[in-house]
């Protein structure tokens, strides 16, 4: 699989002219699902496993994957399928729900910053600090509950948060954290279909939440917020991938290709072994032989 063939069309590194309307949630670029998909995903997983092993052994770079999307867009499934082949020892997944009382006593980046991946590891954020420019923006009452000093809550707060996020991501990238951000771009029609599947299938009832339906009425506000978010925070060091998510299989391939491409770009290698260490290895062989 050529990773760039799948990932590059959806990569955004400069958001100045970004328009969400230019990205079709149903665009699968002629892709045909089926056995071809399984083979490609298996090949990508095999390659990811090899590169992750080198990343872990080299212990220099960290890879941070951020997933943002509307409900039912497939964040959990994408993480499950794309990362199914990696060594759990070198990978950590953090899901960010509503902030706790402790988290609300800190700045909005705090809970995510303390969960950044260590060198040599892949960190996955299922939602992230970007929620502070999405759900908090769509529902101002949440912002009121964050106990910010009144003079700091101005009409410029979203632009200021974008600036702070971009600055943090720039800082992390300069310290060896490779950042990839994925917006799983789902259509309202496909979301409705998936909600109905949850309601009609007893095995998926656990996935349904009443809030899922209530949030649909804010679809336009969310799309405006997502567009503004990508427009202000896409960069070469922390690109956004606007992944067409109406077809789950294709979304998995795009994300897998982007992760693989990033690892190949980092080009981690197994550490060189010193002459002294080689001598110790030879001595150990003789002792055990």
> Does residue 89 surpass a pLDDT of 80?
yes
Residue 73 CA, distance from chain mean position:
13
CATH 3.30.565.10, applies to 3-288? no
Q: Are 77 and 204 in contact (CB under 8 A)?
A: no
C-alpha Rg value of the chain to the nearest Å: 21
Q: Judge residue 72's burial from the number of C-beta atoms within 10 Å of its C-beta, 0-12 exposed, 13-18 middle, 19 or more buried.
A: buried
Per-residue pLDDT tens over the stretch 152-173: 999 999 999 999 999 999 999 9
pTM: 0.94
User: Given CA atoms 78, 81, 85, 90 in this order, what sign does their dihedral have?
Assistant: positive
> Rounded to 5 degrees, what are φ and ψ at 94?
-125, 125
Closest by CA to 226, choosing from 74, 23, 47, is 23
> CB neighbours of 139 closer than 8 A, spacing ≥ 6?
218
> Does residue 115 surpass a pLDDT of 90?
yes
Q: What is the pLDDT of residue 274?
A: 79
Of the pLDDT bands very low, low, confident and very high (cuts 50, 70, 90), residue 280 is confident
- What is the Cα–Cα distance from 287 to 283, expressed in whole angstroms? 6
> Does residue 31 surpass a pLDDT of 80?
no
The sheet carrying 62-69 orders its strands as 11-12, 240-244, 177-185, 62-69, 122-126, 91-95
Domain definitions of the chain by residue range: 3-288
In three-state secondary structure terms, 220 is helix
Read off the pLDDT of each residue in 168-196 and give the average, rounded to a whole number: 97
Of the pLDDT bands very low, low, confident and very high (cuts 50, 70, 90), residue 278 is confident
Of the pLDDT bands very low, low, confident and very high (cuts 50, 70, 90), residue 33 is low
Neighbouring-strand partners of residue 63: 122, 178
Q: What is the pLDDT of residue 210?
A: 78
Most confident of 2-11, 87-96, 235-244: 235-244
């Amino acid at each position: 699989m050529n990773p760039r063939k799948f990932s590059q069309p959806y990569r955004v590194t400069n958001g100045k002219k970004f328009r969400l309307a230019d990205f079709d949630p149903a665009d699968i670029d002629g892709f045909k699902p089926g056995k071809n998909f399984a083979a490609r995903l298996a090949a990508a997983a095999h390659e990811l496993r090899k590169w992750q092993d080198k990343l872990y052994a080299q212990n220099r770079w960290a890879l941070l994957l951020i997933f943002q999307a509307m409900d039912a867009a497939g964040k959990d499934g994408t993480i499950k399928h794309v990362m199914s082949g990696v060594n759990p020892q070198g990978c950590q997944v953090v899901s960010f729900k509503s902030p706790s009382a402790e988290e609300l006593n800190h700045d909005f980046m705090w809970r995510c910053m303390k969960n950044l991946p260590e060198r040599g590891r892949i960190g996955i954020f299922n939602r992230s600090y970007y929620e502070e420019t999405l759900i908090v923006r769509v529902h101002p009452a949440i912002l009121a509950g964050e106990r910010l000093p009144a003079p700091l809550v101005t009409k410029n707060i979203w632009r200021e948060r974008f600036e702070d996020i971009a600055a943090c991501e720039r800082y992390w990238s300069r310290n060896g954290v490779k950042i990839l951000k994925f917006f799983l771009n789902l259509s309202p029609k496909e979301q409705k279909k998936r909600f109905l599947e949850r309601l009609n299938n007893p095995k998926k009832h656990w996935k349904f939440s009443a809030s899922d339906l209530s949030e649909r009425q804010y679809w336009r506000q969310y799309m405006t917020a997502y567009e503004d978010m990508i427009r202000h925070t896409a960069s070469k060091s922390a690109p956004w991938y606007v992944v067409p998510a109406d077809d789950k299989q294709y979304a998995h391939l795009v994300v897998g290709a982007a992760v693989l491409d990033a690892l190949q770009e980092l080009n981690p290698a197994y550490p060189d072994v010193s002459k002294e260490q080689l001598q110790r290895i030879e001595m150990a062989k003789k002792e055990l032989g």
